[in-house]
Chains A and B, each alone.
Chain A
């Protein structure tokens, strides 16, 4: 008998909140081996196998179809692959893990209050310094798409995998694109978000993979699971597969 594979963040606050979100609709996720185990079960749904993975791994595996559905952020889906968002269905926002992907730049740039200012600055910077304006980020795909939509072409991305907010001070980049939930890290680093500088408002979502190979049997198992979150959630997700 086949079963469907549900991936849940493996640790910390995201794991807790994920299990709470499922418990709230009557689905208790058990992790028999405790934090050291990477497999779990749901008593009410014996056809579902639960795997515990990191949120970014969940995003990658949903896109490639190695897992059927999982809990992860939209930002991570975008970052895992440029057209990744087309390979999945966002079935249900889960109301936790809220964070924005934003453009942030030094407070001392008093001439920049909106994204359109940044277009001028990027252009000027290249002519004045003979170099590209540098943007530090781990959100390469989102940044490219957003900057292109704002007509900003004169810049280069510096990939940053941690402490991105320090890049302007360390001289690694002139500005950043980063995720922020409270804004306090930006504030502490004297950075501000210009108007239209919010690229994506992300939160944890229940996400279904389109590429996972949906037999009739798996579809009905999926429908059963999603119905716990409401009939409309199940219908619209299955309709988009």
Chain B
């Protein structure tokens, strides 16, 4: 079997075949990561600060620095293919804090479907270079969930909250419990029944407490949510909706069967999921033809807990250890979040070289 050094050299050649190899600064402004991923990523960052008080981190991944560079260079909207290979830095429970990753980031690709397919095969082939010929492929479909969520009978205010919990099973479970059986509503004494009066009262309380009327939560939003809680307690979200969400999220297993389960669920509850389902079935057919050795699993609740992912997402895991060897997906919301004026499609993957190289020793 090829040794690590030659596998790595081969991988680098393959990156160069399809992309421009870039190496963003190791030292990055920490805000770039905090702004997009919040405090969840905070505990993973290796932080340091500059003399002017700016907080920097050692890059924890390549995706965000590459996207930031793309926008800073004024490339927004231009089709670009970037590749990388080098160290990233994260605090983690197991393994060194510095480890190597390789990967691709295709920004504004002409055909994002086609690009996803080739990036996924790039990742499968990268694993094979290290002797992992048939890793398990774990697929998720953010678009399928978002389509379902948009069409469910659910007060609009709950849609983004449910979306924010997607990819976090425990938090989602608690939220669905709460929708099904709302908390008892503690009517607070002596609050005006009229909304305008209540807003005026809250605004006066805020002023008395010295809270700025121009920053933080406004009286209107506090009252709106107070009324909404009141309404939820009086008329819970339809149990049917909660049941559909629970049933959908429990769908996991061999991909082909699960696709049929999704279709059946959609049909049963009268929600049209045809478009994302067709796309998903197309993905499965393609995989069956071009990577028949790969066992494909689908998990309807699987998603990175980063809301800029939009389409399919995948993970390749080692058969023996279950470790993630590569991961990737479509993230059409990222560049817009970072300040691009329009939505720009993007697809990428990261290969965990440290695990592949450790495994083949």
A132 lies within 8 A of chain B by Cβ: yes
Please indicate which of the listed interface residues B174, B210, B305 has the most CB atoms of chain A within 10 Å of its own CB: B210
* Contact assessment for B229 and A111 in the assembled complex, using a CB-CB cutoff below 8 Å: yes
Contact mask for chain B residues 153-186; partner A; CB cutoff 8 A; 1 contact, 0 none:
0000100110011001011001100100001001
A128 to B191, CA, bound (A): 25
A126 to B164 Cα, complex, angstroms:
10
Min CB distance, B193 to chain A, in Å? 14
A33 close to chain B: CB less than 8 A? no
Whether A151 is near chain B, meaning CB under 8 Å from some CB there, is yes
Whether B174 and A110, one on each chain, are in contact in the complex, defined by CB atoms closer than 8 angstroms, is no
Chain A nearest Cβ from B132, distance in angstroms: 31
Closest A residue to B173 using CB positions: A151
How many A residues have CB within 8 A of the partner chain?
40
CB distance from A10 to the nearest CB of B (A): 28
Stretch at the interface among A40-48, A87-95, A115-123, A201-209: A115-123
Q: Tell me the nearest residue of chain A to B337, going by C-beta.
A: A130
Residues of A within 8 A of B91 (CB): 82
CB pair B171–A144 under 8 Å, yes or no, is no
How far is A169 from B221 in the complex, measured between Cα atoms in Å? Answer: 18
* CB neighbours of A140 from chain B (8 A): 42
Of A18-26, A69-77, A154-162, A211-219, which stretch is located at the interface?
Answer: A154-162
Residues of B within 8 A of A169 (CB): 209-212
- Taking the nearest CB of chain B, how far is it from the CB of A185, in angstroms? 14
Given contacts A108-B209, A153-B305, A169-B210, contact A132 B160 (CB under 8 A): no
Q: Of the candidates A82, A113, A125, which one forms a contact with B186 in the assembled complex, judged by CB atoms under 8 Å apart?
A: A113
Cα separation A111 to B214 with both chains bound (whole Å): 19
Q: Are B43 and A106 in contact (CB under 8 A)?
A: no
Q: Among B39, B191, B202, which residue has its beta carbon within 8 angstroms of that of A144?
A: B39
Q: Which of B165, B168, B170, B217 has the most CB of A within 10 A?
A: B217
Q: Could you say which residues of chain A place their CB within 8 Å of the CB of B165?
A: 151
Tell yes or no: B225 within 8 A of A by CB.
yes
* Partner among B38, B214, B228 whose Cβ is within 8 Å of the Cβ of A153: B38
A138 to B229, CA, bound (A): 32
Are B188 and A153 in contact, CB atoms less than 8 angstroms apart?
Answer: no
Interface size on B, residues (CB 8 A): 44
- Does A107 belong to the interface (CB within 8 Å)? yes
For residue B205, CB closer than 8 A to chain A, the reply is yes
In the complex, B128 has a CB within 8 A of chain A: no
B212 with A171: CB separation less than 8 A: yes
Residue A15, interface by CB 8 Å: no
- Do the beta carbons of B40 and A123 come within 8 Å of each other? no
CB-contact partner of A157 in B42, B161, B222, under 8 A: B42
Q: Are B217 and A125 in contact (CB under 8 A)?
A: yes
Q: Given A107-B209, A110-B191, A189-B209, A153–B39 Cβ distance below 8 Å?
A: yes
* Besides the known contacts A106-B216, A156-B38, 12 further A-B residue pairs in the complex with CB atoms under 8 A apart: A111-B225, A114-B183, A116-B174, A144-B39, A144-B43, A151-B168, A156-B39, A156-B42, A168-B209, A169-B209, A190-B208, A190-B210
| 20 CB-based A-B contacts, threshold 8 Å | A106-B211, A108-B202, A108-B206, A108-B209, A108-B219, A110-B226, A111-B222, A119-B161, A123-B160, A132-B38, A151-B171, A151-B175, A153-B164, A153-B168, A153-B171, A157-B42, A171-B216, A174-B217, A189-B209, A190-B209
* Chain B residues with a Cβ under 8 A of chain A: 34-35, 38-40, 42-43, 91, 157, 160-161, 164-165, 168, 170-171, 174-175, 178, 183, 186, 188, 191, 202, 205-206, 208-212, 214-217, 219, 221-223, 225-226, 228-229, 305
The 4 A-B pairs of least Cβ separation, nearest first, read A151-B171, A190-B209, A111-B226, A169-B210
